[in-house]
Structure 1
Amino acid sequence: MSIEIRQVHTKQERKAFIKFAWKVYRDDRQLKENWVPPVISDYMKTLDTEAFPLYEHAELAMFTAWKDGSMAGTIAAIANRRHNEVHGDRVGFWGFFECLNDQGVADALFAAAADWLKGKGLDTMRGPVSPSMNDQCGMLTKGYDSPPVFLMLYNPPYYNDLVQKAGHHVGQELLAWYIDQKIIDIARLRKISAHVMKREGLSIRIIDMKNFEREIELVRDIYNSAWEKNWGFVPMTDKEFDFMAKSLKPIANPHYIYFVEDSNGRTIGFSLSLPDINQALRHVNGNPFTPWGFVKFLWYRRNISLVRTIVMGVLPEYRNKGIDSILNTHIADYGGQHGLFASEMSWVLKSNEAMSKLAKVIGGKPYKEYVIYEKQIA
């Protein structure tokens, strides 16, 4: 049968694009048990080029594949001008890929994305990136036996075969580290943390939620400075950062957002961890804001047992001085006292030996692996 590619234009088509994922996961027992349906309203905003601030400097095209009169796959293509300005290349991105186990359908989707990206003057496609490196990225290659944590992706194993057979190769490998707080030598960590703080003249505090906007400015400045030389990193604009911060604020626990300050009160490092609300979201089928969905979300949220450490940032002049030990000590200490006995540190480039060493020191194990693929298209 012939495969038809259609570009998404209307709000109704966008919602159908998002809802297609349910078709992929509903018939496979293991996938259905571990997949966490996306929050439909959040994805609707992320894919809204009039509302999501990324699209002030990026363009988006969404495509659906149809076979035998039914939708059989989805993909989005993203041309991010800021990425190419920062890195001096001509890379485009693909994301939001969902597909039945059909190579012909996958090939047609990648061809549609590649043609659109080439039309924007780009010579390489990289993904999955949904829709930027500051959002969700990476295709799962190891760790299918447990659900993803908040803002991490999940996919069937056969997706990797579809991508590779379509001519894509591994660009970067990412790790998610699982840290069992119950086996951490917290007394030792406290001693190390206290020593570093005394030696460097530092102090630590939690975020001041009453002055949220001011605190977010501190996070943004350190984040953009600390990560500027990381692979694929693009500094976030003020609008992007504010949008992200406001969306995460309702689920934030201030005791997992720490600032390290020097003796003059200058913030020199921070860490951002969030409760793994996927443990609650997996029960609401993508609709936590309906009356019944909200009740179920609140019910399951009571028993969240894991936090995800999304990002740590330290100013360049304070790197390799043990600041991370201060942050990790407080995350583990508070979690252990309040029933959250596990954390995930993600994502970390597999090539980032310093972060891997840190994760091992605090008892971490790399239990999930992801890949970002690349392909020359010009």
Structure 2
Amino acid sequence: MTVDVRPVASRRDRREFVELPFRLHSTSAQWVPPLRLERRLFLSRRLNAFFAHGEAREFLARRDGRVVGRVSAQIDRAYDEQHGDQTGMFGFLELEDDPDLAPALLGAARQWLAARGRTRMIGPMDYTMNDECGVLIEGFEREPMIKQPWHPAYYAARCEQAGLEKAVDLYMWELDISDREKILPVIFELAERAGSRHGITLRKMSRRRLRADLDVFGAVYNTAWKDNWGFVPYSEKDLDHYAQELQLVFDRNWFMVAEKEGEPVGIAITVPDVNQVLKRMGGRLLPLGWWHFLRKGRIIDRVRVGFLGIKPEFQHTGAAARFYVEHFDMATRTPQKWGEMGWILETNRAMNRGMEAMGGRIVKRFRVYEETF
């Protein structure tokens, strides 16, 4: 039977788009089912801030009437403003282990992008690099943390057989943040100097001021990350959307701002890994999913350090080291004792050296692919 790839065009199609990963991975010990409701809302043109500066089309692949794969194709005007308008993206890639599927799915994405003047395609990314992105190429035995994808080993092989080439790899570093013995002494020296010599202080965010503090996050991210591969700045609407997401996982112990004389100079957002709760919820709030979510404080023992950045003009002050030490201190006072930091670009030598200095080790690698046409 031939593979038939068509755009998502109905409620039934959208439901099957959301359901496919459940059918493919439900027997995996590692895969964590997302909330179906959240996935449907994420795909909404009205509710997802991506669609204020982007457009997308989702596709389903069927064989003999049965859904066997999915993909999206998207254009991001915010990306275009930074990198030019020749590049489009693909994402949401899921497929059975069948050599015919990746070429058919990627061909549909390529055709949609080419019709809009694009000559290059990168991905996978679930609309943007700030959401789930990359194909897992190392660390298959580990559960994904919040906003990390999980794939069987055949995904990378099928992508490469379909002609995709490596664009860049993303690292996830494991850190045992309860073990101060693993951190190099220079980190503590730099952290102390940040306060005594440069006047850097830390404060914790509050739930009430979270959206205001995300303006600081946006300012830091949009300056400190602007030279990184694939950088796209956060807009006001993006920050509004991000604030709503973070309200669900907010923990004052792990949301921090560095200041100098009251001026914000850096920010660290570390998220207790709600995937430990989602695994028990099985993708649904009812009948008992809500009960597990309310008990998340008793369940979660790990975190994902999702963002840690300092404004360029303050990167010499030791503010980053001050954040590192505060994370170790929090691990002595909270149930969360270890975590993963990232993703970090393989080309970001400064951050990767910092992870080594903290006794970290790379435990997952994700690959972003590209193709020109």
Do both share a fold (TM > 0.5)?
A: yes
Tell me, yes or no, if the aligned pair for 1:280 and 1:301 is still in contact at 8 Å. Answer: no
Q: Aligned-pair distance for 1:209?
A: 2.4
Q: Aligned-pair distance for 1:55?
A: 0.9
1:56 pairs with 41, 47, 52, which one? 52
Q: Aligned-pair distance for 1:179?
A: 0.3
- Aligned match of 1:319: 315
Q: Does 1:116 align with 2:131?
A: no
Instruction: Quote the Cα distance in structure 2 between the aligned partners of 1:66 and 1:208.
Output: 48
Tell me, yes or no, if the aligned pair for 1:8 and 1:64 is still in contact at 8 Å. Answer: yes
- Aligned match of 1:45: 41
Q: Aligned-pair distance for 1:187?
A: 10
Q: Aligned-pair distance for 1:142?
A: 0.4
Correspondence list, 1:166-181, <5 A: 166-181=162-177
Correspondence list, 1:249-260, <5 A: 249-260=247-258
Deviation per CA, 1:105-124: give whole Å up to 9, x if none.
22111100100010111011
Q: Does 1:8 align with 2:5?
A: no
Q: Does 1:283 align with 2:280?
A: yes
2:366 pairs with 370, 373, 376, which one? 370
Instruction: Quote the Cα distance in structure 1 between the aligned partners of 2:11 and 2:322.
Output: 46
Correspondence list, 1:167-246, <5 A: 167-185=163-181, 188=185, 189-246=187-244
Correspondence list, 1:60-71, <5 A: 60-71=56-67
Instruction: Quote the Cα distance in structure 2 between the aligned partners of 1:273 and 1:45.
Output: 24
Give the structure-2-normalised TM-score. Answer: 0.95
Q: Does 1:22 align with 2:22?
A: yes
Deviation per CA, 1:278-323: give whole Å up to 9, x if none.
1111121211x22411113334651211111101121110124321
- Runs of 4 or more off by more than 4 Å in structure 1? 186-191
Tell me, yes or no, if the aligned pair for 1:49 and 1:60 is still in contact at 8 Å. Answer: no
Instruction: Quote the Cα distance in structure 2 between the aligned partners of 1:42 and 1:11.
Output: 16
* SS of 2:270 mapped into structure 1: strand
Tell me, yes or no, if the aligned pair for 1:258 and 1:271 is still in contact at 8 Å. Answer: yes
Q: Does 1:105 align with 2:104?
A: no
- Aligned match of 1:329: 325
- Aligned match of 1:151: 147
2:350 pairs with 336, 351, 354, which one? 354
Q: 1:300 to 1:33 in 2, by over 3 A?
A: farther
What are the ranges of 5 or more consecutive residues in structure 2 without an aligned counterpart?
none
Q: Aligned-pair distance for 1:89?
A: 4.4
- Aligned match of 2:32: 36
* SS of 2:29 mapped into structure 1: helix
Tell me, yes or no, if the aligned pair for 2:184 and 2:359 is still in contact at 8 Å. Answer: no
Tell me, yes or no, if the aligned pair for 1:280 and 1:298 is still in contact at 8 Å. Answer: no
- Aligned match of 2:68: 72
Instruction: Quote the Cα distance in structure 2 between the aligned partners of 1:15 and 1:302.
Output: 33
Instruction: Quote the Cα distance in structure 1 between the aligned partners of 2:34 and 2:109.
Output: 22
Give the structure-1-normalised TM-score. Answer: 0.94
1:19 partner amino acid? E
Q: 1:363 to 1:187 in 2, by over 3 A?
A: closer
* SS of 1:209 mapped into structure 2: coil
Give the number of equivalent residue pairs: 371
* SS of 1:356 mapped into structure 2: helix
Deviation per CA, 1:315-359: give whole Å up to 9, x if none.
110124321110111112112221211021010001111001100
Q: Aligned-pair distance for 1:218?
A: 1.8
Tell me, yes or no, if the aligned pair for 1:277 and 1:301 is still in contact at 8 Å. Answer: no
* SS of 2:355 mapped into structure 1: helix
2:105 partner amino acid? L
Instruction: Quote the Cα distance in structure 2 between the aligned partners of 1:327 and 1:195.
Output: 13
Instruction: Quote the Cα distance in structure 2 between the aligned partners of 1:101 and 1:358.
Output: 38
Tell me, yes or no, if the aligned pair for 2:193 and 2:318 is still in contact at 8 Å. Answer: no
2:19 partner amino acid? K
* SS of 1:129 mapped into structure 2: coil
Q: Aligned-pair distance for 1:191?
A: 4.6
Q: Aligned-pair distance for 1:273?
A: 0.3
* SS of 1:337 mapped into structure 2: coil
